[in-house]
Amino acid sequence: MTASKQPKHLRKAMAKWAEQRGDLYAAACPSRGVLDHVTSRWGVLVLVALLEGTHRFSELRRKVSGVSEKMLAQTLHALEEDGFVVREVFPVIPPRVDYSLTPLGQEVASHIEALTDWIEDNLPRVFAARAQHASRKSASESGRQGRAGRRESSA
């Protein structure tokens, strides 16, 4: 959507924030929308996949296992709107559409890739923490049930 086709209130809000740093903690800050697009389940995976280079829609769909056509299309559209992805249509039959990262997209995707690498590298530690938490929670709940049972039997 071009700037002239956007609603007037949206153009005003964008103009207000265009020259200043975002503030994620401010409820009205448009950076929250960008954060939603970049950190969504599919946004993260699409951005990291495109770090490897240009992909066609079907290639992305295969690479990002589990994403529906609808969600992939919505994700690509949002990332394109935010200036992270460029969509290039080739006038051939059958139609060919390529997606690649813009310089801004490469920048944000490299930060996201660092996070995804950290998650993959530390998955065993995360699962160990989950198991430990579940064990503590289970012990705590069984302790409460034991005390409740003793109170009932002494009454």
Task: Give residue-wise pLDDT tens across range 3-33.
Answer: 556 666 666 666 666 667 888 888 888 888 8
Q: Supply the pTM of this predicted model.
A: 0.76
User: At residue 36, does pLDDT exceed 60?
Assistant: yes
Q: What CATH code would you report for 40-154?
A: 1.10.10.10
pLDDT of residue 153: 57
Q: Residue ranges per domain, the chain?
A: 40-154
Give kind and range of the element (H or E) at residue 3: none
Q: What is the pLDDT of residue 143?
A: 72
Q: Is 29 helix (H, G, I), strand (E, B) or coil?
A: coil
